A and B are shown apart, each in its own frame.
Chain A
Amino acid sequence: MPITDTELRDALTPIRELEPTDEEIQRVIAAAQELRVPRPHRGRPARAVAVVAATAAVVGGLAALPGGDATRPQDAHGILQAAAAVAGDQPAPGAYRYTRVRDVFVYAVQAGAERRRATEEQTSENWTSDAFAGRTVARQGTVQWDAPPTAAMLRYGTGAVVKAYDGEFRYGDGPLARVPFAAIPDDAAAAGRLLEDAIRDGRWLPNPNSHPHWAPGVVEDEVIHSAVLLLELGNLTGAQRQALFGVLSTRPGARALGDVTDAVGRHGVGVVLGGDRGGGLRVIIDPATGDILQSSETSPPPPATPPKLPAGVRKPPWPPPVWLLERTHVFLSTGSVAALGEKP
């Protein structure tokens, strides 16, 4: 005789009656708060893996933590796969992705024989919906010079402050300028193929003919940067974020940094992605949520000799007057909100 629904429901009643204790609830809340608040260093001194020593104080650098979670994957593929699994479990997004980001750009500025190093820092709040439409509010930022700049250097655009901004969110000039987020597949292989195809054919560029030819390695590099950018700022579903971490986990050359802290002392796991054309993109991931806490990158210095250009093309000044050395984006807060201006 078949077992009835009522019989099964009755038989499983003891499981239905399991209730958490107050102590368990308080323990969970305490653990969640502890994960939010940077813990003081214990044990041996942190081993700095700073991007560049001169700006380590600004960008925070990456420091190995004492101990770490032994059960957590230690290789880059495992770290990214674990992040994919966690990202897939996140709740459905609201109308906007909210991010509060501290951006740090370090430039080499050259005027004649004189050279300076300028560090720009600014914090912005961003609300992004489909196709990167949304809003940004940024307070005035700072510029720090390693020595007083000359008048010519200030004319290059790196002045004394970074101006405040309140207006449309603008993903200005990259290969994902107009990407419809619904087009990002839930499957990692399909997402990887789509990104590569879209970058090659320039379908999402403001001007589709901007990059008709790609040098070797550039498309691969753009796939990595695009996937990371979407994970940082794209208002995507958990399944799409899972797919994008899956894309990153299949990229060749990814390296694990292990347990690290970001510029504001939060704990995460680090990976370096790509790097064929520079130092690689360093990404710190919150293992509990799959959110990217920080991404940073260094650029190799300009070559000693200018690039060979076709006859008739005017030669640029060399070395270039302004050269981006480093960039760091610290995602101080991320979340999903229902309306512009709302905060998680």
Chain B
Amino acid sequence: MASLKAMTTLDHASALPVATPKALSTERVAARALRVARRTAYGVLGDAEAAADIAQDVAITAVRRAGSLRDPAALDAWLHRIAVRAALREARRADRRRAAERAGHDPPPPADDAALTSAVALLEGLPARQRAALTLRYVHDLPDAAIARALRCRPGTVRSLLSRGREAVRAATQEDDHGSRHADH
């Protein structure tokens, strides 16, 4: 790197004024990252352990980058993006594992909380990106534009993912209702 060599040879010396960074507290960044990433990963994967792993990885990265993160709004947008991408990567890996094993899908262990299990069951069977879009909208209350940034797609694609996702949930819910009524008879 000749440039670095070149710049060592001039003879000037004075200190620059050092600005004080308005950094977020480490605890706040860690808590926020764990919260956002776990909720997102849980929605996408429906697996408590995988969601906890992803949340921890995302939070560690966020804490290490805390010095560069000053705007809470920007922090959230960034967390949503990396959490979604980590969850989608894990979903792809899980798909490959299942395909390779040919042993069918080992469902993730059910959560201890029955309400949580029901919530996850609602999204079960949907493609990962649809799950991600639904999670970002209905868990994190993000608008289309923010979901599009997190998923790196156009807002129109988000609307399509949400529409198809809602339709799939509705169909699955009706099927369950129908099955329950038959069982009752």
Interface presence of B14 (CB below 8 A): yes
Contact with A along B100-121 (1 / 0, CB 8 A): 0000000000000101101110
Tell me the chain A residues, 162-191 only, with Cβ under 8 Å from chain B: 162-167, 169-174
B132: min CB distance to chain A, Å: 12
Contact with B along A84-105 (1 / 0, CB 8 A): 0110111110100000010101
Contact with A along B4-37 (1 / 0, CB 8 A): 1111111111111111010000110011011100
Interface presence of A3 (CB below 8 A): yes
> A341 with B19: in contact, given A35-B60, A170-B3 (CB under 8 Å)?
yes
Closest to B57 in A: A288
Please state if B63 and A29 are interface contacts (CB–CB under 8 Å): yes
> A3 with B3: in contact, given A120-B8, A336-B68, A344-B21 (CB under 8 Å)?
no
Interface presence of B170 (CB below 8 A): yes
Interface presence of B56 (CB below 8 A): yes
Tell me the chain A residues, 55-97 only, with Cβ under 8 Å from chain B: 85-86, 88-92, 94
When distances are taken between beta carbons in the complex, the residues of chain A under 8 Å from B118 are 11, 14
> A163 with B64: in contact, given A137-B16, A343-B18 (CB under 8 Å)?
no
Closest to B42 in A: A15
Please state if B55 and A20 are interface contacts (CB–CB under 8 Å): yes
Interface presence of B59 (CB below 8 A): yes
Q: Which residue of the partner chain, among B15, B39, B65, B122, contacts A137 with CB atoms under 8 Å?
A: B15
Please state if A103 and B5 are interface contacts (CB–CB under 8 Å): yes
> A12 with B43: in contact, given A5-B138, A24-B34 (CB under 8 Å)?
yes
When distances are taken between beta carbons in the complex, the residues of chain B under 8 Å from A339 are 19
Contact with A along B133-152 (1 / 0, CB 8 A): 01100111100000000000
Closest to B168 in A: A3
When distances are taken between beta carbons in the complex, the residues of chain B under 8 Å from A229 are 1
Cα separation A339 to B86 with both chains bound (whole Å): 31
A9: min CB distance to chain B, Å: 5
When distances are taken between beta carbons in the complex, the residues of chain B under 8 Å from A343 are 18-19, 21
When distances are taken between beta carbons in the complex, the residues of chain A under 8 Å from B19 are 337-339, 341-343
When distances are taken between beta carbons in the complex, the residues of chain A under 8 Å from B69 are 91
Cα separation A169 to B4 with both chains bound (whole Å): 9
Closest to B13 in A: A164
Interface presence of B67 (CB below 8 A): yes
Interface presence of B159 (CB below 8 A): no
Closest to B38 in A: A18
Please state if A172 and B119 are interface contacts (CB–CB under 8 Å): no
- Chain B binding site: helix, strand, loop or mixed by DSSP? helix
Q: Which residue of the partner chain, among A92, A120, A173, A327, contacts B74 with CB atoms under 8 Å?
A: A92
> A15 with B61: in contact, given A3-B169, A89-B81 (CB under 8 Å)?
no
Closest to B11 in A: A163
Please state if A163 and B74 are interface contacts (CB–CB under 8 Å): no
Closest to B123 in A: A12
Please state if B56 and A27 are interface contacts (CB–CB under 8 Å): yes
Interface presence of A108 (CB below 8 A): no
Interface presence of B160 (CB below 8 A): no
Tell me the chain A residues, 8-67 only, with Cβ under 8 Å from chain B: 8-9, 11-16, 18-20, 24-25, 27-29, 31-32, 35-36
Please state if B35 and A18 are interface contacts (CB–CB under 8 Å): yes
Please state if B8 and A163 are interface contacts (CB–CB under 8 Å): yes
B41: min CB distance to chain A, Å: 10
B145: min CB distance to chain A, Å: 15
A325: min CB distance to chain B, Å: 13
A–B complex contacts, Cβ < 8 Å, 6 sampled: A15-B116, A15-B120, A35-B64, A89-B61, A125-B16, A341-B17
Chain A residues engaging chain B, CB cutoff 8 angstroms: 1-3, 5, 8-9, 11-16, 18-20, 24-25, 27-29, 31-32, 35-36, 85-86, 88-92, 94, 101, 103, 105, 120, 122, 124-125, 135-141, 157, 162-167, 169-174, 229, 288-289, 327, 329, 335-344
Known: A2-B170, A8-B122, A18-B39. 13 other contacts (CB 8 A): A8-B134, A11-B118, A25-B27, A27-B56, A91-B69, A92-B74, A103-B4, A166-B13, A171-B3, A338-B19, A341-B19, A342-B21, A344-B21
